[in-house]
């Protein structure tokens, strides 16, 4: 090594030695920096909390809307306009022993279809006396609609005093296809 190399090396060592001592900030400045860092951490925590609520609330709202749409679209029977459709109602949960009759009310545009009982063919309301409660376990009837759309069929079970014991609303979606 030459003299100039030794000098450069000594100078660089002295620079690195002074750099290793580190710079110290004033105590007032270090407290301000520590407070700023703490406030940023707290701010990020609050932002994350609100982001979680926003995303969770949006997801919950979307899930609830999807569930309601699913209930609306798929909670009805499907049938074709102009074709006879068999509807079967199960009324198994009735605890009253003195069931007198079952009454079925069809909405406008929907009528009963029956070749065995011509007196109810084409009507929209029928009242059927019940002699045996076991007959209520499966209660079939045939309907036909002249128009498309969602129709609500009302099935009511009456006791001997004329009070409604059970009522069911059946939804049938009639389509033109």
Q: What's the per-residue H, E or C state across 143-162?
A: EEECCCEEEEEEEEEEECCC
* 77-175 topology per CATH: Immunoglobulin-like (2.60.40)
Structure tokens at 13: 């060592």
Q: Residues of the chain whose pLDDT is less than 70?
A: 1-3, 15-25, 71-76, 92-97, 133-136, 177
Domain residue ranges in the chain: 3-74, 77-175
Helix, strand, coil shares, percent, the chain, to 5: 40, 30, 30
Structure confidence at residue 17 (pLDDT):
65
pLDDT at 97: 67
| pTM assigned to the model | 0.55
d(CA 4, CA 1): 8
Instruction: Specify the pLDDT at position 36.
Output: 86
Q: What is the pLDDT of residue 159?
A: 84
**pLDDT at site 98:** 74
The predicted pLDDT at position 55 comes to 92
pLDDT of 80: 86
Query: Which helix or strand (DSSP H or E) is residue 71 part of?
Result: helix 27-74
């Amino acid at each position: 090594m030459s003299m100039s190399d030794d000098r450069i090396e000594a100078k660089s060592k002295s620079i690195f030695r002074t750099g290793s001592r580190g710079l110290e900030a004033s105590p007032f400045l270090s407290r301000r920096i520590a407070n700023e860092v703490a406030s940023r951490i707290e701010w990020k925590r609050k932002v994350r909390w609100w982001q979680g609520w926003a995303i969770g609330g949006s997801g919950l709202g979307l899930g609830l809307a999807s569930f309601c749409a699913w209930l609306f679209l798929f909670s009805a029977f499907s049938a074709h306009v102009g074709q006879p459709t068999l509807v079967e109602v199960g009324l198994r949960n009735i605890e009253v022993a003195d069931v007198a009759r079952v009454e079925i009310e069809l909405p406008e545009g929907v009528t009963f279809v029956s070749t065995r009982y011509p007196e109810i063919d084409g009507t929209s309301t029928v009242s059927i006396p019940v002699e045996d409660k076991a007959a209520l376990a499966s209660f079939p009837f045939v309907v036909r609609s002249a128009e498309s759309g969602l129709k609500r069929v009302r099935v009511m079970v009456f006791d001997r005093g004329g009070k409604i014991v059970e009522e069911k609303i059946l939804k049938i979606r009639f389509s033109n296809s």
